[in-house]
Amino acid sequence: MKGVQSILFSQKAAPYIFILPFIISLSFFWVYPMISTIIMSFQDIGTGYSEFIGLANYEKLLGDSVFHTAVKNSVLYTIFTIIILIPLPMLCAFLLNSKNVVAKRTYKSIIYLPALVSVVVSGILFRYMFSEMDSGLMNQILNFFGIDSTQWLKNWGTGMFALLLLATWRWMGVNTLYFEAGLSSIDKVLYESAEVDGANAWQKFWHITLPLLKPTRIYVTTISIYGGMAMFLESYMIYGGNSSPKNIGLTIVGYLYRRGIEKNDLGYASAVGLVLLIVALAISMVYLWSSGMFKKEDK
Amino acid sequence: MSQNNTEPNQSSLFDASALVATKKVKKNKDGKRSLYKVLINGFFVIMCAIVAVPFVAGLFASFRPGQMLIRNGLNLQLDFKNWSFTNYGYLFDGSTGYLDWYKNSIVITVISVLLTLIICYFVAYGFAMYNFKFKNFLFFLVIATMMVPFEILMLPLYKEMISLGLIDTFAGVILPGLVGASTIFFFRQFLSGLPKELLDAGRIDGSSEYGICVKIIMPMSKPAFSAMAILSAMGSWNSMLWPLIVLRSADKFTLPIGLNTLMTPYGNNYDVMVAGSMFSILPLFILYLIFNKYFVEGMTAGAVKG
């Protein structure tokens, strides 16, 4: 008994005891489900039976036009969010650092506020702001500019706009914080010497800020790719459920949820999930490779 | 941004001629600068106003009868004649499950934050303070878990919960999220910055490895704990997808799940929906006002490292 205790308390065993919870959690809630989803993706699973059907699920995915719609929606949503939510927050962070800003902390705090709100609450707010009635806020704005009211959530373009506005509202502040943190790690001496050389604000931004923010930009872009490709609840809330007219709001995870949870077709849904994983990994790898992340060792 | 904007106390460090020169340039540029100042602050004021619109519209709607929300949508009209506190009354008079949901959210958030922090701290401590076999491989696994979206694992996890009998229990909601890779990552980063000599000093004093971890290092890690407490409380309070799958009975719902059920077109609980939504934001808003600094630290820790 004493021997066991001295082993447990030895300096050699201690690290393993410390990381034990990670190993347990990893095996139960990561390795097991990971393996299980890979196996399920090759199976036809119904209540009380499961049989191996090889690649049939994946073949079915290739010809599944609803799945194609979901992939298209997810990929476009991801691209649009990156186009909006990288440059805008970067500019915001840059402007926030200006000496002319009067209430930096207040601005920052307010822009961050939406990140505190759950998808449910923000989804409810946006769903009814995009109401098709004349008295909905977005239609009021249209009417103000002399444009007729529209059924925002019945068409692809306007529906996507609603989703993007929601994403911008929620993540603008967070991404600004990221870039702000990136900016604060840039040595002030660089700006000062640029000023001595007579550089203007734009030149400083282009030649110092932008290149030195690259690590932050890569980080934010990568999490945006993952967040965008896995988007589901935003659409679920805005469309008031997992079904939208002509699937205009359907995403890959939405389809996985529909197949797996709503229709209990776990095999097919697992194949959807694995395709999502492969696509997300591939996009982020291509992005990281193209931005030179893997060339670091050459230096 | 602006050249020659040397602060007075800073310029006093330089010799007098430089000071005079600075002032001269300053005068010439004053007009341009004040215009710039108005523009840049105007930009942020307008942006803050736009950010506030959904909150204000939601707040307004929470004072109106729920049917008006469905009929009119959300807007910024100040139609005071329709306003009352009736909806907020419904939240507390027990006619809906709202108070149960609130209680459940608090219970789940408190339990998972406490457990997550303690467990992740220990795991990170192991990674930061020791060298051991397979350390790099195991830490690679920490990173790897971050690269797989949770959404992919939710179906097999759901099946697993069914076979473990954890469906419709708080344990089922809490357990899979306890060991969070990003929390481990953050703690490890913090702990790596502490001097290793502290451990040796502790050992010489006769403390056990666990004694050092709990009695010496843990009190020093307060800032890390605060930042992670806030972040994980936020995640837990707002978590929706997993609880949506695990929880079945209305009296076990958390706030997000409960509020979501009110959105069905068949119910007439819209009175509670908006007022309940607005009231559910309150705890995080209060935390944010008090611990603003820790929110920022927790959020940006990952990005700075890059």
CATH number of the domain residue B176 falls in: 1.10.3720.10
Alpha-carbon distance values, A149 to A133, A140, A161 (Å): 8, 8, 15
- Give the number of domains in chain B: 2
- Look at residue A46 and give its three-state secondary structure: strand
| Interface contact B184, partner A, CB < 8 A | yes
- Residue B285 covered by a domain: yes
Looking at the fold, whether B271 and B138 belong to one and the same domain comes out as yes
Q: What distance in Å separates the CA atoms of residue A242 and residue A226, rounded to the nearest whole number?
A: 20
Given B23, B49, B84, the domain boundary residue is B84
Q: What distance in Å separates the CA atoms of residue B152 and residue A34, rounded to the nearest whole number?
A: 8
Looking at the fold, whether B70 and B181 belong to one and the same domain comes out as no
**pLDDT at residue B265 is higher than 80:** no
- Residue B3 covered by a domain: no
Given B26, B53, B84, the domain boundary residue is B84
The predicted model scores a pTM of 0.89
Query: Which domain range does residue B70 map to?
Result: 8-84
Looking at the fold, whether B166 and B292 belong to one and the same domain comes out as yes
pLDDT value for A1 = 56
Judge: A9–B208 Cβ closer than 8 Å, yes or no.
yes
Judge: B277–A33 Cβ closer than 8 Å, yes or no.
no
Beta strands in B169-280 (DSSP E): none
- Of A224, A262, A190, A257, which Cα lies nearest the Cα of A88? A224
- Residue B22 covered by a domain: yes
Looking at the fold, whether B38 and B160 belong to one and the same domain comes out as no
- Residue B2 covered by a domain: no
Distance of CA A98 to the CA centre of its chain: 29
Beta strands in chain A (DSSP E): 43-46, 49-52
Percent of residues, chain B, with pLDDT higher than 90? 58
Q: What distance in Å separates the CA atoms of residue B203 and residue B205, rounded to the nearest whole number?
A: 5
Q: Identify the residue with better confidence: A200 or B24.
A: A200
Residue ranges of chain A whose pLDDT lies below 50? 297-299
- Residue B145 covered by a domain: yes
- Residue B1 covered by a domain: no
- Of B114, B117, B130, which Cα lies nearest the Cα of B212? B130
**pLDDT at residue B19 is higher than 60:** no
Distance of CA A147 to the CA centre of its chain: 33
Looking at the fold, whether B102 and B30 belong to one and the same domain comes out as no
Helix (H) / strand (E) containing B215: none
Mean per-residue pLDDT over chain B, rounded: 86
- Residue B56 covered by a domain: yes
pLDDT value for A6 = 78
| Interface contact B218, partner A, CB < 8 A | no
Q: Which residues of A touch B36 (CB under 8 A)?
A: 100
pLDDT value for B264 = 73
pLDDT (tens digit, 9 = 90+) per residue, A191-228? 888 888 888 878 888 888 889 898 889 989 999 999 99
Mutation target to probe the B interface, by most B beta carbons within 10 A, among A94, A124, A171 is A124
pLDDT value for B153 = 94
- Look at residue A36 and give its three-state secondary structure: helix
| Interface contact B118, partner A, CB < 8 A | no
Judge: B54–A256 Cβ closer than 8 Å, yes or no.
no
Can you tell me the mean pLDDT for B94-101? 88
CA distance B149 to chain A (A): 7
Buried residues in B88-124 as b, exposed as e (16+ CB within 10 A): bebbeeeebbbebbbebbeebbebbbebbbebbbbbb
pLDDT value for A241 = 86
- Residue B99 covered by a domain: yes
Q: What distance in Å separates the CA atoms of residue A287 and residue B145, rounded to the nearest whole number?
A: 20
- Break chain A into its structural domains and give their ranges: 2-40, 58-298
pLDDT value for A84 = 97
Q: Which of B74, B127, B210 sits opposite A19 (nearest CB)?
A: B127
What number is the ipTM of this complex?
A: 0.89
Q: Identify the residue with better confidence: A298 or B152.
A: B152
Helix, strand, coil percentages (3-state) for chain A, rounded to 5, are 75, 5, 20
Looking at the fold, whether B277 and B228 belong to one and the same domain comes out as yes
Q: Looking at the domain A58-298, which fold is it? A: MetI-like fold (1.10.3720)
Structure confidence at residue B36 as a pLDDT band (50, 70, 90): confident
Nearest CA in chain A to B41: A101
**pLDDT at residue B14 is higher than 80:** no
Tokens, residue B197: 């000599």
Those residues whose C-beta lies under 8 Å from the C-beta of residue B146, and which sit 6 or more positions away, are B181, B182, B185
| Interface contact A162, partner B, CB < 8 A | no
pLDDT value for B48 = 96
Q: What distance in Å separates the CA atoms of residue A221 and residue A288, rounded to the nearest whole number?
A: 9
Q: Which residues of A touch B295 (CB under 8 A)?
A: 112
Judge: B288–A113 Cβ closer than 8 Å, yes or no.
yes
Structure confidence at residue B305 as a pLDDT band (50, 70, 90): very low
Looking at the fold, whether B110 and B12 belong to one and the same domain comes out as no
| Interface contact A120, partner B, CB < 8 A | yes
Tokens, residue B1: 């941004």
Tokens, residue A239: 């469309």
pLDDT value for B114 = 97
pLDDT (tens digit, 9 = 90+) per residue, B162-174? 999 999 999 999 9
Task: Please write down the long-range contacts of B287-291, taking CB distance under 8 Å and 24 or more positions apart.
Answer: B287/B230, B287/B233, B288/A109, B288/A113, B288/A116, B291/B226, B291/B230
Looking at the fold, whether B36 and B141 belong to one and the same domain comes out as no
**pLDDT at residue B306 is higher than 90:** no
Q: How long is chain A?
A: 299
Asked if residue A262 lies in contact with residue A115, where contact means CB atoms within 8 angstroms, the answer is: no
pLDDT value for A227 = 93
Residue A19: count of CB within 10 angstroms of its CB? 26
Given B53, B84, B115, the domain boundary residue is B84
Looking at the fold, whether B241 and B142 belong to one and the same domain comes out as yes
